[in-house]
Amino acid sequence: MQNRFSITLDPDRVIFIYLSTRRYVAASTWPHFTLLGQSLGSLVLAWDAFSLLVPDIYVDTMGYAFTVAFAKLLFNIPTGAYVHYPTISTDMLESLPSGTTDTRTQIKRQYWQLFATLYIGCGKYVDRVMVNSSWTASHIRALWRHPNVSVVFPPCAVTELQQKIPASDDKPREKVLLCIAQFRPEKNHKLLIDAFARFYKQTKAHKDAKLVLVGSVRHSEDATRVYDLRLQAREVGVKNQVVFVTDAPWADVLKWLRIAWVGVNAMWNEHFGIGVVEYQAAGLVGVVHNSGGPKMDIVIETEGGKTGFHATTVEEFAAAFEEALSMPESEVREVRCRARKSAERFSEEGFESGWLREFGALLRA
């Protein structure tokens, strides 16, 4: 934790209990009807945990809503949930075409509606609901209709970044477009590479720009994904301009945040976006997807002006890259300062205050 995330834990106050049934919540265990399978599997995992320890308070932070209802029904104890992403969202339900005669689509719609009914039913067993963003809050309120939904932004290393990368740092920034994100499909590195290739072929002033992709590789599937992305960079003609940094320790992440000019994010409807906060705290100009938490909570319009750019398509990202790198020095400095100031809302102290407030309510329940 200290090496990868710069988080220090007190070993005398944190106890880990090993669970042997983790496989039941793995997506690979449920190749079909994955949402329902993982949720039912979480009950097996919860039973494993409850067999080892009967809790006085139960708080789910993993998105296993079925386990909250299970704990409430088994023990009648105070329950809470810190929701990063709703297991099923109103966006998902609305994404399927209506009025279709396609049998597969009709079955999928019925399955999603059944699962949504079960998921909505779990909400009534949660005493206190915390969510990580305004986007998540809107979906949870629509689904669970819960009276106690509180937005508690995740803890971000804002203070540390602002101390280690001060605004007065005189070192010149390099024309680096930095993406900090796990190498997973939904992070949409493919779009970023395509957008960078389009930008690079069109730009005249920024031929020294590079796209740096920093992220963790969890297993062989992620390693294959990185290999495919390398092939893509070669195919679109930017092999020498795209840099891959895998499983970097925090010290290396800091190095890239210190020298980069632009911070990029291409995930559609990302629930929050800690990496985007880190960009802002470190003084990068954000170019982020025009959706989810990055749009609603992080890269916002302040009283002084914008803190970055929003984009959706390859063309929009490419244009934003050009604009972000072409701003006059005085304007860049203003955007950086506004972004750093805006990022202070996501400090570890802010998270602790919100968490303790909600946890205190559970203690009094």
Question: Which residues are registered as beta bridge partners of 311?
Answer: 289
On whether both 50 and 170 belong to a single domain, the answer is: no
On whether both 167 and 286 belong to a single domain, the answer is: yes
On whether both 13 and 90 belong to a single domain, the answer is: yes
Exposure class string for 289-316: b at 16+ Cβ within 10 A, else e: bbbbbbbbbbbbeeeeebbbbbbeebeb
Which amino acid, one-letter code, is at 124? K
On whether both 98 and 228 belong to a single domain, the answer is: no
On whether both 64 and 141 belong to a single domain, the answer is: yes
On whether both 188 and 292 belong to a single domain, the answer is: yes
On whether both 67 and 196 belong to a single domain, the answer is: no
Task: Spell out the alpha helix ranges (H) of the chain.
Answer: 2-5, 34-52, 65-75, 90-95, 103-122, 134-144, 158-164, 189-202, 220-235, 250-259, 274-281, 292-293, 314-326, 329-343, 348-364
Q: What is the pLDDT of residues 71-102, one digit of tens each?
A: 999 999 999 999 998 998 877 777 777 777 78
On whether both 118 and 149 belong to a single domain, the answer is: yes
Confidence of residue 3 (pLDDT cuts 50, 70, 90): low
Q: What is the pLDDT of residues 61-70, one digit of tens each?
A: 999 999 999 9
CA end-to-end span of the chain: 32
On whether both 339 and 358 belong to a single domain, the answer is: no
According to DSSP, residue 239 is labeled G
Confidence of residue 105 (pLDDT cuts 50, 70, 90): confident
Question: Has residue 168 got a pLDDT over 90?
Answer: no
pTM: 0.82
Our count of domains for the chain comes to: 2
Question: Has residue 131 got a pLDDT over 60?
Answer: yes
Confidence of residue 232 (pLDDT cuts 50, 70, 90): very high
User: How confident is the model over 112-119, as a mean pLDDT?
Assistant: 93
On whether both 189 and 332 belong to a single domain, the answer is: yes
Q: What is the pLDDT of residue 170?
A: 57
Q: Which helix (H) or strand (E) holds 244?
A: strand 242-246
Q: What is the pLDDT of residue 5?
A: 61
Q: What is the CATH number of the domain that holds 295?
A: 3.40.50.2000
On whether both 169 and 91 belong to a single domain, the answer is: no
On whether both 43 and 61 belong to a single domain, the answer is: yes
Question: Has residue 52 got a pLDDT over 90?
Answer: yes
Domain that holds residue 141: 2-155+349-364
Average pLDDT of the chain is 92
Tell how many helices (H) and how many strands (E) occur in the chain: 15, 12
